[in-house]
Amino acid sequence: MPRISEKGRLMPASPIRKLVPFAEEAKRKGIKIYHLNIGQPDIPTPRVALDAIHNNTLEVVEYSHSAGNESYRRKLSEYYRAIDIDVDHNQIIITTGGSEAILFALLSCLDPGDEVIVPEPFYANYNGFAITAGVKIVPVTSSIETGFALPPIADFEKLITSRTRGVIICNPNNPTGYLYSEGEMEKLGELIKKHDLYLFSDEVYREFCYDGHSHFSAMHIKGAEQNVILLDSVSKRYSACGVRIGALVTKNMDILYTAIKFAQARLSPPSLGQIVGEAALDTPQDYFDRVSEEYIMRRNLMVDMLNKIDGVVCPVPKGAFYTTVRLPVDDADQFSQWLLSDFEYDNETLMLAPATGFYSTPGLGKDEVRIAYVLNKEDLEKAMICLEKALKAYPGRRL
């Protein structure tokens, strides 16, 4: 029998979706599941974006330019300039979701065997992108005790080798909800400039910053213009995950000249998705205001209820719509499976994302889970009650 490729063997299965068979079996038994495991917002997509689909009169859905429609890129550059990111349309490549932007960036900037330092816990799919590009992820660990703040720069320095080429961050962070401050970003910028590294900055949750905190983009770091690659997406900003439109943005023309070759090899990003993305740029501010209020209300309810449960530690996330929580359990992977296979409360249970899938260092995250507060207030409250009951009943509860 022909063998499977080494990359295929190493490619990790999604830690967010590995419990799906257990969830499907629970549903077949008639059990209602509260899905807190995946960042699929229930917020309606903006009407201006939906109207672009409903009112479309295209007779042929053509290829677009490999870098994306010029009209979209020009309009997107206006969006960036409005938030003090001074780029023009030629410094933007539209991608098939933020995922392709990350992959193009790694393929353009790093050789197989090169290393990137990533604060952990981190978005699990960075592992898959790194394996696809032949790149090694080197984790630098953040702690729940600090709310998952940026690790000390000295910790980054210790990990730099002759193969280190860059740092990946997600700000606001998935899976922790931590928002890196301007001060933290400036310190990271000094590190990048000192060692002439790339900074791959995943900023897809930019609009979700709470409690008066504002977002400081990696593109705002002075003197690092040639080092920074901004990775973006319409998925969460406009609750339009299914249109699969993202962007790679940089002022480094060598990266752009290189990335466009990868873009040409896949022909073009989705044409209909670009129409939606372009229209979504006209979303009124009151949409974001309402969405922010909704997430703050959900966050406050969830954090309050979680921290009242004996043994649970939940930092207050400053951004995105996730939090990473410590539970009084022996094994969060087993607990998350047990919730689906062996537990129900009033014929209901919940689905979580075990945090081990967001760490690269073996053994870390064993008693943590990521929770996405993407349910309405009533369902979220029921889910938290369900979790409290489950923790009391779980055989592997840690005292």
3-state secondary structure of 93: strand
Amino acid at 388: E
**Where in the chain are all domains bearing CATH 3.90.1150.10?**
6-44+286-393
Question: Out of 1.10.645.10, 3.40.640.10, 3.40.50.920, 3.30.1950.10, which CATH number does the structure's domain 57-280 have?
Answer: 3.40.640.10
Closest CA to 169 of 128, 222, 209, 126: 126
Q: How many residues does the chain have?
A: 399
- CA 73/CA 96 separation, integer angstroms: 14
CB 136 within 8 A of CB 115: yes
Residue 326 has, within 13 A of its CA and on its CB side, a CA count of 14
List all residues 6 or more positions away from 233 whose beta carbon is below 8 Å from its beta carbon.
97, 98, 101, 204, 245, 246, 247
| Residue 273 structure tokens | 């998705």
| Residue 325 structure tokens | 């929580």
CB 356 within 8 A of CB 331: no
- CA 184/CA 179 separation, integer angstroms: 10
Question: Tens place of pLDDT for every residue, the chain, 399 residues?
Answer: 999 999 999 998 887 778 999 999 999 999 999 999 999 999 999 999 999 999 999 999 999 999 999 999 999 999 999 999 999 999 999 999 999 999 999 999 999 999 999 999 999 999 999 999 999 999 999 999 999 999 999 999 999 999 999 999 999 999 999 999 999 999 999 999 999 999 999 999 999 999 999 999 999 999 999 999 999 999 999 999 999 999 999 999 999 999 999 999 999 999 999 999 999 999 999 999 999 999 999 999 999 999 999 999 999 999 999 999 999 999 999 999 999 999 999 999 999 999 999 999 999 999 999 999 999 999 999 999 999 999 999 998 876
- What residue ranges in 67-109 does DSSP mark as E strands? 92-95
Residue 25 has, within 13 A of its CA and on its CB side, a CA count of 11
**Where in the chain are all domains bearing CATH 3.40.640.10?**
57-280
Give the homologous superfamily in CATH for domain 6-44+286-393: Aspartate Aminotransferase, domain 1 (3.90.1150.10)
| Residue 39 structure tokens | 């960042």
